[in-house]
Amino acid sequence: MPEKREYEDFEINFKLKEGSRKELRGFIVNMFLAEKGGYWKDEVKHVTRYKYFVETIRDGRKIYLLRPTFLNKGIDFQVWVERLDGEKDKKPSHKSIFEDLKDKKQEDPIKFKELLVLIDRVWKCEDPENILEQNELEFRTGWSVELFLKVLKWLFVEQDITYWNYDGRSMLKRAIFEKLE
């Protein structure tokens, strides 16, 4: 007989500001530790699920984290974007990031070099909102620079948590720069 499950869904809004890699990682992990855990009651498995709204794009779409995802034994999350590339919410993949960057490089190599500087600033834990206040960089192809930097912020944080004892965000940054040189 299959086990019975009931789901309890939570939605939380929060904004992660600038800080060191360690501070950002600690803030997120502590948020996850504060979640209500799942439990058994009357032979029913009660599962808690969380959606953390973390960024808003100027067009009103949101970036959110989805938990749990069962990838890294409980401290994992996925980055999702509302209506990414159409009507459906989607997870931006590393592959989609590389393809978007390749298209931007082909469109305008000079502006592309400026984008790499912005990516480096996000990698150094500067908040994309602050970067965007100082820069009006735009491309005709692919995602907006705003969407791109905000997604990248969360993929870097995800890498920092997943590869806690390694170089975390550096692996993704290195992959971006190696694939596009």
- Read off the pLDDT of residues 58-99 as tens digits, 9 standing for 90 and up: 999 999 999 988 766 667 899 999 998 788 999 998 899 999
Average pLDDT over residues 91-115: 93
Q: What is the pTM of this model?
A: 0.90
The whole-chain average pLDDT of the chain stands at: 90
Q: Residue 181: its pLDDT value, please? A: 66
Least confident interval from 45-49, 88-92, 148-152, 159-163: 159-163
d(CA 43, CA 71): 26
d(CA 150, CA 133): 13
Q: Residue 165: its pLDDT value, please? A: 77
Q: Phi/psi of residue 126, each to 5°?
A: -80, 140
CA 176 to chain centre: 15
Q: Residue 167: its pLDDT value, please? A: 78
- The answer to whether residue 111 scores a pLDDT higher than 90 is yes
- Residues 6 or more apart whose Cβ sits within 8 Å of residue 53: 11, 12, 13, 14, 62, 63, 64
> pLDDT confidence of 161, banded at 50, 70, 90?
confident
- Cis bond upstream, residue 2 (ω within 30): no
CA geometry: angle 28, 172, 78, nearest 5 deg: 45
d(CA 37, CA 148): 33
Dump pLDDT digits (tens) for 14-66: 988 888 888 998 999 999 999 998 888 888 999 899 999 999 999 999 999 99
Q: Residue 171: its pLDDT value, please? A: 84
Q: Alpha-carbon Rg of the chain, whole angstroms?
A: 18
